[in-house]
Chains A and B, each alone.
Chain A
Amino acid sequence: MAGSKRVPKPFLTDTMKKEYTILVPDMLPIHFKLIIAILEEYGYRLELLQTSTRAVIDEGLKNVHNDTCYPALLVIGQFMEALKSGKYDVNKTALMITQTGGGCRASNYIHLLRKALAADFPQVPVISLNFSGLEKQSSFKITPAIALKLIYAVMYGDLLMLLYNQCRPYEINTGDTDRVLEFWQDKLSYALKHNKYFNTKKLYRMILDSFKAIPRTKDKKPRVGIVGEIYVKYSPLANNGLNEFLISEGCEPYVPGLLDFVLYCASDSLNDKRLYDSVTARTLMFDIGYEVLYKFQKQQIKVIEEHGEFFPPHDFEELRVYADKYINQGVKMGEGWLITAEMAALAETGTKNIICTQPFGCLPNHIVAKGMSRVIKQAYPDANIVAIDYDPGATKVNQENRIKLMLANARE
């Protein structure tokens, strides 16, 4: 549908893309840097926004219905702040936003963003990054080649994040882990740009070795799992630097990787087939996609296990088994059953301390997070789960207090 005349919808044409800077919201700094490197190879010029001033929230409150979830408010606020900052030529700037196409509000972010732009920046094109065939005219053309590269970026990003969190709390010389992370971000960006990223096994091992080489203490710190709504879970802007906070509190954060979410989305059509006998043209494509992705994950896990130094991510098929104990995989809006499964998997594999991050009033989370914690608690009585709400009004002190309470329990 073309939409009404109330809201302009400029597109970024191929001829324009060379002159335009595309702004990318801050969600997963490690991954997004790699993704940017890839897209730049295709002639786009991108810039990751990392502003985190109060003005971001204020712009969000001004430009988005205040009952909209916090991620939309932040993403749009961050864009608006950037456009108003004078740092960018607003006639040569476009915005990129992701879209999943599921039954939760997130698929509407792009529309809310356009509405926000309508008054002051009607000329700014918005580009959708999605795999669901939405927004055909204004989405990135994801060719199979780009898709594959993006997947690699996710895999490498996940590994870096995983290892970073397992080293940083224990590093003896401050800054070591950050240096290793930076080194690999640069190296992998280069590799992805120059098509030198296929030998995953070799690269994985090299990455593992360089993290292993960081001098670390031997003390055992409580491992704290972070699950929840995808944006709030990852974005330091949204979760008030939760990862850093946990490290400063003497914990080892464990954040499930982005690949889980990608697999979760890919498994959707599998589940639809199973539940509703729904087979479409896309089903087959997704089936294959899922198989490929899952193989990738298996391989990464295997390399980490063989290497022996670090704790590997959860196997996605195992996550699906955990999910089945508590919730149907038909729950597919937002992060759906994945949150329940991640909580269960963490509890099962010995990470008893779990923080479930959620935007205040997140609809799917009523069901999959708050709604499932009773049964998970029943199954794992010593699981220490705390749900933290994030929104523009919630203060850091309140959130940190809750986390501290959980940590006090963790140290018992």
Chain B
Amino acid sequence: MEKTYCLGIDVGSTTVKTVILDGDEIKSCKYERHFSKVKETVANQLKEIGEKYPDDKFKIMITGSAGLGIANMSGIDFTQEVYAAFVAVNKTYPDADVVVELGGEDAKIIFLTGGVEQRMNGSCAGGTGAFIDQMATLLGVTPDELNNMALKSTKLYPIASRCGVFAKSDIQPLLNQGAKKEDIAASIFQAVVDQTVSGLAQGRKIGGKVLFLGGPLSFLSALRKAFVDTLKLDDDHAVFPELAPCFMAYGSALQAADVSEPMTVKDALEKIMNAKASDNIVVSDPLFESQEDYIEFVERHKASDLKYEDISTYTGEAYLGIDAGSTTTKLVLITPDGKLLYNHYCSNKGQPLDVITEKIKEIYSLSGDRIRIKASAVTGYGEDLIKAGLGIDFGIVETVAHFKAASYFCPEVDFIIDIGGQDIKCFKIKNNAIDSIMLNEACSSGCGSFIQTFAKALGYEIADFARIGLFAKAPVELGSRCTVFMNSSVKQAQKDGASVEDISAGLSSSIIKNAIYKVIRAKSVDELGKNIVVQGGTFLNDAVLRAFEKELKRDVIRPAIAGLMGAFGCALYAKEKADDEFVSSILSKEQIESFSYKPSSAVCGGCGAHCNLTVIKFNDGRRFISGNRCERGAGIKKTDVMENTIEYKYGLLREYESIKPDKPIAKVGLPMTLSYYDLLPFFHTVFTSLGFEVVLSEESSRDTYYKGQQTIPSDTVCYPAKLAHGHIMSLLEKGADFIFYPCMSYNVDEGGSDNHYNCPVVAYYPELLKANMPQLNDDNFIYPYLDINRKNHTAKALSRALKKYGITKDQVYGVLNKAYSEQVRYRKKIEAKAQEIILEARKQGKKIIVLVGRPYHTDPEINHGIHKLIASLGLAVVTGDSVANLSKVPELDVLNQWTYHSRMYRAAEYVTTQPDMQLVQLVSFGCGIDAVTTDEIRAILEEKGKLYTQLKIDEINNLGAAKIRLRSLVASIEEKEGK
């Protein structure tokens, strides 16, 4: 007899789930990865069901992020997936308080008790199944293996999980420094938990009975453990239902009961298969019109190749170049006349040192006694470790290596673009020197490894995946943003019926657009110059190369060794540097045979920063330490380090704390955050003069951030703002009677500008703190609106705010002059100090870097010690605000309406008048206003022939990218001067 069942179909970003219900009874439940073949996978599951229940009728409800399109097109009912989960939970666990569901690309929380609330991750949030997959790929393991590794961990590293790309930049250095994979695995899961707790819950407590749903949580025990441990749940309060992976499908099956018209599976199948793809995919032209086109293209690029020499017969000297990249390792051995003896390109499997050691052994054995390595050089993320471990002669910055290699193939080169696994590096060449460098910022990374991850996700090997794209008929336009966004674009394209071929070709052109428009920011192709050399492993992919040529509408040069250019450049560099007497320090054949090392971790006790150190002990007793921010960690004594205005300013600000009145009326807390980095002298003087004891919040650290993390409502606001929450907590801990933090639309008017605003975040962050930190109330948090340019108003507003303490307007008025003077005195001190430093630098013949940014970039947790990094390269550092007074505002093409920015423009103008100065701009990630200032400062500098260097910083501690930029800057300065 025919029956009517309920069928729930959950089509997620990576999987298809179906659940069949007969009344309350679950008849079947299936979970399957769809590898982007969404429609096919759904159809297959339906066919299976159809075979089992040929004549029965089904009430069907579809759910899931990729299900919406199918439902719309086929006319089958659809329910929102979080709502489906909600229904399922109400049915099965009516006593649950919170549901946490992690899916392929979504993370969701449902709060059930105390006001139902459902939350999904924002469009810029990692911390999901796809993130874990990506990280597993990075470590070269399966998610299951990752899980098993994590269970064996002994320590955790902080990893950003905001988005996959960020995490990669945290993980890569750990890998390259030799941190244990087990620990990294566990840290990855912990990052997912942190992301969920801080990013999604945003201040609401996850407690009571918590239900964990979704694929990753059901299959990965280490992730479950991380959640349970972090949330401090016991077995009764952490529920992992057996049905977890299919819970949404179950929920939609439950809802299907309300569907009016049941149908047979056959009908449903027909509806789905006949559904027309909607025509809102945008497509572009095919990469190649014909096979002939392709052959012509291949022939053309064959022309750029090296000559080869047989390593098994060659006798003589050779030069070794190593590129220890973020995900891959490249080695080349060349003869003095540039012929290629040996090359190797492989994944570093997270252990670059092992791979390189192996390969050098191989080179030695192939070379026999005929070949002598005259000199060697290394570049890339693993540079320091490889150099120290294997005795490589030179370490050079990637940009220099790439330039060397590119000019070998094209001496007239104007522009080099290198897309590697993790980075895009582009540089313009002018007068035979690197003129400007464009690197991808942390957010838009995901270059070569990005297409690889997609290939894997879609079930292809990278080479095959690239190949099928070559002749795609209608490549999809996928936009040009970072990986996480791209996932959604791909999802949408699939939903709209794009084929894997079209997606492959579309991804290739996305990478290119990302590079051209986001990293290079070219307005027209002519900007790039005539002779363009492309390199990096990603360009070995013909589809990417072709997409690039099509976008530029011109032919470019791709050397056949595109993937080896860094290494080749190193070899050329080694050759250049080694004169006749030079003897290489590279480990000999015997030494390398016995070479071994042992990594261990330690915490540096040198200062309050407590850096996580990775200590590598080599078999000959040498040690290599990484993870340290300053010399101290590496066990090097400080010698004669020059002063800089960053530390000087920070010191001055901190010193105010010691000034206290005799009998304080009350204790006022001033948070060391945002605007206080500029106006502390003023407010401190006001309060102490009025008889208050001023307490400052603690020195920022990662822990400060964690303290307030749970009350941050917007996860895309800049890191300096996020830290403010921790500083408020710190003041409460320190027992301040009240916290004073004024809202200031207007900053100090320093003249010469159109207006003198603060940025919206600096101006109004106190409002946000008050609204989101339950610890604050009208008594302990005073945040008047002030415009300190207006003395009378300031006196009035402050006395009104401090009425409770009996402060009158006259009293305030009486101390204001002193406060204004103090602010001026503070500024003068910094300016004087800058002059001292400049004088000293000139005496020592050092170049001077003017570091521009915001006052709060003085905070050591925000600047991550970048000034130390700059100093370590032999440069002196002064801040922009300490020299801004020396110049007038130049003619600008923007509205100059923010005080802090006006200082930067003036500092930039000043730099253009000083031959021995260069400017480096610090930009906080998420600072929208700097989208305006960066281009303007660049224009001011470049017009007068100065280099522009921008460093983007956020909570991530890794200074890798900053280091490349700074070293390249130094190399460029040297080259320019050499000419």
For B758, the closest partner residue in chain A by CB is: A103
Q: In the assembly, what is the distance between CA of A16 and CA of B351, in Å? A: 68
For B894, the closest partner residue in chain A by CB is: A111
Give chain B interface residues in 267-326, CB to chain A under 8 Å.
Answer: 280, 282
CB pair B785–A330 under 8 Å, yes or no, is: yes
| Residues of chain A lying within 8 A (CB to CB) of residue B203 | 374
- Whether A68 sits at the interface, judged by CB under 8 Å, is yes
CB pair B895–A107 under 8 Å, yes or no, is: yes
CB pair A103–B80 under 8 Å, yes or no, is: no
> Which of B28-36, B562-570, B767-775 lies at the binding interface?
B767-775
- Whether A306 sits at the interface, judged by CB under 8 Å, is no
CB pair A277–B790 under 8 Å, yes or no, is: yes
| Residues of chain B lying within 8 A (CB to CB) of residue A111 | 893-895, 932
User: Out of A3, A57, A364, which one reaches B760, CB within 8 Å?
Assistant: A364
Q: In the assembly, what is the distance between CA of A394 and CA of B81, in Å? A: 19
| Residues of chain A lying within 8 A (CB to CB) of residue B768 | 366-367, 371-372
CB pair B517–A62 under 8 Å, yes or no, is: yes
For A60, the closest partner residue in chain B by CB is: B517
| Residues of chain B lying within 8 A (CB to CB) of residue A331 | 743, 763-764, 767
- Whether A397 sits at the interface, judged by CB under 8 Å, is yes
User: Out of B69, B481, B926, which one reaches A397, CB within 8 Å?
Assistant: B69
CB pair A374–B931 under 8 Å, yes or no, is: no
Give chain B interface residues in 68-88, CB to chain A under 8 Å.
Answer: 68-69, 79-83
For B926, the closest partner residue in chain A by CB is: A361
- Whether B890 sits at the interface, judged by CB under 8 Å, is yes
Give chain B interface residues in 771-797, CB to chain A under 8 Å.
Answer: 771-772, 785, 787, 790, 792-793, 796-797
- Chain B, residues 43-70, CB within 8 Å of chain A (1/0): the string is 0000000000000000000000100110
Q: In the assembly, what is the distance between CA of A283 and CA of B934, in Å? A: 35
CB pair B477–A54 under 8 Å, yes or no, is: yes
| Residues of chain A lying within 8 A (CB to CB) of residue B122 | 389
| Residues of chain A lying within 8 A (CB to CB) of residue B759 | 103, 363
CB pair A61–B517 under 8 Å, yes or no, is: yes
Instruction: Quote the shortest CB–CB distance from A410 to chain B (angstroms).
Output: 11
CB pair A275–B123 under 8 Å, yes or no, is: no
User: Out of A105, A326, A366, A372, which one reaches B929, CB within 8 Å?
Assistant: A105
CB pair B891–A3 under 8 Å, yes or no, is: yes
CB pair B761–A367 under 8 Å, yes or no, is: yes
Interface centre among B203, B759, B894 (most CB of A within 10 A): B894
| Residues of chain B lying within 8 A (CB to CB) of residue A373 | 713
CB pair B787–A276 under 8 Å, yes or no, is: yes
Q: A371-B768, A397-B492 are in contact. Are A409 and B83 (CB under 8 A)?
A: yes
Give chain A interface residues in 367-396, CB to chain B under 8 Å.
Answer: 367-368, 370-375, 377, 381, 389, 391-396
- Whether B541 sits at the interface, judged by CB under 8 Å, is no
Q: A114-B893, A393-B485 are in contact. Are A275 and B785 (CB under 8 A)?
A: yes
CB pair A115–B893 under 8 Å, yes or no, is: yes
- Chain B, residues 675-689, CB within 8 Å of chain A (1/0): the string is 000000000000000
Instruction: Quote the shortest CB–CB distance from A3 to chain B (angstroms).
Output: 5
> Which of B459-467, B518-526, B572-580, B647-655 lies at the binding interface?
B518-526
Q: In the assembly, what is the distance between CA of A40 and CA of B595, in Å? A: 82
Q: In the assembly, what is the distance between CA of A63 and CA of B122, in Å? A: 27
| Residues of chain B lying within 8 A (CB to CB) of residue A394 | 123, 485, 488
Instruction: Quote the shortest CB–CB distance from B488 to chain A (angstroms).
Output: 4
Q: A394-B123, A405-B83 are in contact. Are A6 and B939 (CB under 8 A)?
A: yes
For A398, the closest partner residue in chain B by CB is: B488
Q: A63-B523, A278-B790 are in contact. Are A332 and B745 (CB under 8 A)?
A: yes
- Whether B604 sits at the interface, judged by CB under 8 Å, is no
- Whether B849 sits at the interface, judged by CB under 8 Å, is no
- Whether A281 sits at the interface, judged by CB under 8 Å, is no
Q: In the assembly, what is the distance between CA of A7 and CA of B882, in Å? A: 29
| Residues of chain B lying within 8 A (CB to CB) of residue A134 | 754, 895
CB pair A103–B83 under 8 Å, yes or no, is: no
- Whether B832 sits at the interface, judged by CB under 8 Å, is no
Instruction: Quote the shortest CB–CB distance from B869 to chain A (angstroms).
Output: 24
CB pair B489–A395 under 8 Å, yes or no, is: yes
- Whether B495 sits at the interface, judged by CB under 8 Å, is yes
CB pair A107–B897 under 8 Å, yes or no, is: yes
Q: In the assembly, what is the distance between CA of A363 and CA of B898, in Å? A: 14
CB pair B931–A278 under 8 Å, yes or no, is: no
Q: In the assembly, what is the distance between CA of A315 and CA of B79, in Å? A: 37
- Whether B357 sits at the interface, judged by CB under 8 Å, is no
- Whether A67 sits at the interface, judged by CB under 8 Å, is yes
For A132, the closest partner residue in chain B by CB is: B755
For A57, the closest partner residue in chain B by CB is: B479
| Residues of chain A lying within 8 A (CB to CB) of residue B713 | 366, 370-371, 373-374
Q: A119-B523, A395-B488 are in contact. Are A330 and B743 (CB under 8 A)?
A: yes
- Whether A328 sits at the interface, judged by CB under 8 Å, is yes
CB pair A360–B123 under 8 Å, yes or no, is: yes
User: Out of A3, A278, A370, which one reaches B714, CB within 8 Å?
Assistant: A370
- Whether B765 sits at the interface, judged by CB under 8 Å, is yes
- Whether A47 sits at the interface, judged by CB under 8 Å, is no
- 18 A-B pairs besides A278-B787, A409-B83 with CB distance below 8 A are A58-B513, A65-B934, A66-B521, A103-B763, A107-B895, A111-B895, A112-B894, A112-B932, A120-B524, A277-B790, A331-B764, A332-B745, A363-B929, A366-B714, A368-B764, A393-B485, A395-B491, A404-B68
Interface residues of B (CB under 8 A from A): 65, 68-69, 79-83, 115-118, 120, 122-124, 203, 280, 282, 477, 479-482, 485-486, 488-489, 491-492, 495, 513, 517-518, 521-524, 713-714, 716-717, 721, 743, 745-746, 754-755, 757-761, 763-765, 767-768, 771-772, 785, 787, 790, 792-793, 796-797, 890-898, 926-932, 934-935, 939-940, 943
A-B contact pairs, 6 of them (CB 8 A): A105-B929, A278-B787, A330-B745, A366-B717, A371-B767, A398-B65
Lowest 3 CB-CB distances: which A-B pairs, in order? A393-B481, A393-B485, A103-B757
